[in-house]
């Protein structure tokens, strides 16, 4: 092979190797950013059970109450978005009292070094309500009613040892605290430095109210609140989420759902609204563009519990 040919092949390999390394570094950075993503989720009123202080969403199999329709308006302001959601619920059975819960969660996934601070007092890590929702109110037939808050904290830790690829899974705060007392405290500083912790936290909140239905009665319930945007990747894109899948807890199909999502003022920022992929070719949803947003209309459908609307607004040109 000539010197020119050798040089050409060498340069090709060098260029390929460079871009492979760049792609690998970008991939690692992306993975790390995903792990530290913080998400807030709000959802529809759902039919729930409250047992031993815990709240469980029903599956709709034995329900006599159907969600005939709902109208949800999400207004995107500068620092917050405001949600007003109204639900029309019809009882087709005998008179009964049911519990209706409005759920929202806060999720925090991040990487940490192995340190005592993540094991001590982990059960007291519940954030203030203001981190989730502001000015929450709930109504029955246009009258403001009281609700009872329920809170649940869940955590899962994966400890990975970079020296020998050992993985230790700790599935609760008690489990984590026990492992730290028995094993972690005795590790030297050098041994601890070989570990990193994939730390996952979930705070589940329910706002639960009781509703008395007469036989064959339709009742209107509603919730309203403000929520902060999040920018999980710190790239200037604000986002919010509204889960409508908790509507699966009611009897049969939801006959009609309307979601209006719009910016409070017209400006040059970009608004993007996303639905689960299954709705791309699904005839149950009709999407209509508005001057400052979009109208989503669903007909005669049964959502999956995880179904959600995600909306993103360009923060570099946010509303003033």
The pLDDT value given to residue 13: 40
* 59 vs 93, higher pLDDT: 93
Structural domain includes residue 87? yes
The pLDDT value given to residue 315: 60
CA distance 103 to 149: 10
Name residues whose C-beta falls within 8 Å of residue 268's C-beta, 6 or more positions apart in sequence: 317
CA distance 12 to 22: 15
Structural domain includes residue 84? yes
The pLDDT value given to residue 122: 52
Structural domain includes residue 5? no
- Give CA separation, 101 vs 48, 183, 307, in Å: 6, 41, 17
Q: Dump pLDDT digits (tens) for 58-91.
A: 887 778 999 999 999 999 988 889 999 999 999 9
Pairing relation of β-strands 38-43 and 96-113? antiparallel
280 lies in which domain range? 36-317
The pLDDT value given to residue 22: 43
The pLDDT value given to residue 121: 52
In this structure, how many other beta carbons lie within 10 angstroms of the beta carbon of residue 185? 10
With 0-12 / 13-18 / 19 or more C-beta atoms within 10 angstroms meaning exposed / middle / buried, residue 87 is buried
The pLDDT value given to residue 16: 40
Q: Dump pLDDT digits (tens) for 290-319.
A: 989 999 999 999 999 889 999 998 866 544
CA distance 59 to 52: 19
User: Across the chain, how many H-helices and E-strands are there?
Assistant: 3, 18
Structural domain includes residue 23? no
Highest mean pLDDT among 111-125, 231-245, 261-275: 261-275
The pLDDT value given to residue 137: 93
Structural domain includes residue 108? yes
Structural domain includes residue 233? yes
Q: Dump pLDDT digits (tens) for 96-151.
A: 999 999 887 777 777 778 877 777 655 445 555 545 677 889 999 999 999 998 88
- Give CA separation, 106 vs 51, 120, 179, 222, in Å: 22, 21, 26, 22
264: left (phi over 0), alpha (psi -120 to 50) or beta: alpha
CATH number of the domain that 241 lies in? 2.60.40.3680
Q: Dump pLDDT digits (tens) for 168-226.
A: 888 877 788 888 888 888 888 888 888 888 877 777 788 999 999 999 999 999 999 98
Q: Say how many domains are in the chain.
A: 1
Structural domain includes residue 161? yes
| Both structure tokens of 185 | 């405290």
The pLDDT value given to residue 306: 86
DSSP string, 100-124: EEEEEEEEEEEEEES-GGGTTTGGG
Structural domain includes residue 172? yes
Q: Dump pLDDT digits (tens) for 2-58.
A: 444 433 443 444 344 434 444 433 343 333 334 444 445 567 788 888 876 778 888
CA distance 181 to 78: 47
For residues 67 and 302, the answer to whether their CB atoms sit within 8 Å is no
């Amino acid at each position: 092979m000539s010197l020119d040919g050798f040089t050409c092949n060498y340069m090709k390999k060098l260029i390929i190797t460079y871009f492979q390394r760049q792609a690998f570094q970008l991939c690692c950075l992306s993975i790390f950013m995903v792990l530290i993503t913080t998400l807030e989720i709000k959802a529809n009123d759902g039919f729930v059970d409250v047992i031993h202080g815990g709240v469980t969403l029903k599956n709709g199999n034995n329900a006599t109450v159907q969600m005939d329709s709902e109208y949800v308006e999400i207004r995107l302001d500068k620092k917050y978005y405001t949600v007003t959601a109204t639900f029309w619920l019809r009882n087709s059975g005998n008179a009964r009292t049911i519990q209706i819960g409005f759920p929202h969660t806060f999720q925090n996934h991040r990487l940490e070094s192995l340190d005592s601070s993540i094991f001590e007092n982990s059960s007291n890590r519940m954030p203030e309500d203001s981190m989730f929702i502001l000015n929450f109110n709930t109504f029955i037939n246009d009258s403001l009613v009281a609700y009872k808050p329920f809170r649940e904290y869940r955590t899962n830790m994966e400890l990975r040892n970079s020296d020998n690829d050992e993985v230790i899974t700790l599935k609760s705060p008690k489990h984590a605290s026990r492992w730290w007392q028995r094993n972690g405290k005795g590790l030297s500083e050098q041994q601890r430095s070989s570990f990193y912790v994939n730390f996952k936290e979930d705070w589940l909140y329910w706002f639960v109210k009781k509703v008395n239905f007469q036989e064959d009665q339709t009742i209107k319930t509603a919730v309203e609140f403000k929520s902060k945007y999040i920018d999980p990747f710190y790239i200037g894109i604000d986002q919010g989420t509204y889960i409508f899948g908790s509507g699966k807890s009611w009897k049969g199909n939801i006959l009609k759902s309307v979601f209006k999502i719009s910016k409070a003022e017209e400006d040059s920022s970009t608004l993007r609204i996303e639905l689960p992929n299954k709705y791309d070719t699904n005839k149950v949803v009709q999407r209509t563009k508005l001057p400052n947003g979009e109208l989503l209309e669903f007909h005669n459908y049964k959502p999956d519990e995880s179904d959600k609307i995600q909306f993103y607004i360009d923060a570099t040109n946010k509303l003033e």
